[in-house]
Amino acid sequence: MSAKIYRPAKTAMQSGKANTQHWVLEFDQEIPRSIDPLMGYTSSRDMKSQIRMSFETREAAVAYAMRNDIAFRVIEPKESKRRRVVYSDNFKFDRRQPWTH
């Protein structure tokens, strides 16, 4: 029984940072998923893979895993690099790309 602790990234549908400030503990899959031969549904008998626990801090998630003897790995979040964009650069005389409209 192992788990991963990570901070979720924002989805492509979000412009803000909602639901990205908490840390999540998810259990890894122990039993592989199987395909139902009649309907084609993908199913699993592994109930722990459905558990997703949220914590305020990384330290709280690590403490919970250590207290309950859960093997875990921490995945550090990747910070996004914000490119500095200035509106007045659109009208510079020495632009790298020609102005097409």
Tokens of 50: 């459905």
Question: Distance between CA atoms of 52 and 8, rounded to whole angstroms?
Answer: 12
Whether 13 is covered by a domain: the verdict is: no
CA-wise closest residue to 73 among 23, 39, 38, 36: 23
Q: Which domain holds residue 69?
A: 1-8+22-30+45-77
- What is the mean pLDDT of the segment spanning 66-76? 95
pLDDT band with cut points at 50, 70 and 90 for residue 17: confident
Model pLDDT, residue 100: 65
Question: Distance between CA atoms of 23 and 91, rounded to whole angstroms?
Answer: 43
Model pLDDT, residue 70: 94
- Using left for φ > 0, alpha for ψ between -120 and 50, and beta otherwise, residue 45 falls in alpha
Q: What percent of the chain has pLDDT over 90?
A: 42
The CATH number of the domain where 53 resides is what?
A: 3.30.160.190
- What is the mean pLDDT of the segment spanning 30-41? 90
Whether 40 is covered by a domain: the verdict is: no
Model pLDDT, residue 101: 59
> pTM (2 decimals)?
0.70
> In the predicted model, is pLDDT for residue 91 greater than 90?
no
Whether 93 is covered by a domain: the verdict is: no
CA-wise closest residue to 74 among 87, 85, 65: 65
Model pLDDT, residue 95: 75
Whether 85 is covered by a domain: the verdict is: no
Whether 64 is covered by a domain: the verdict is: yes
23: helix, strand or coil: strand
Domain count, the chain: 1
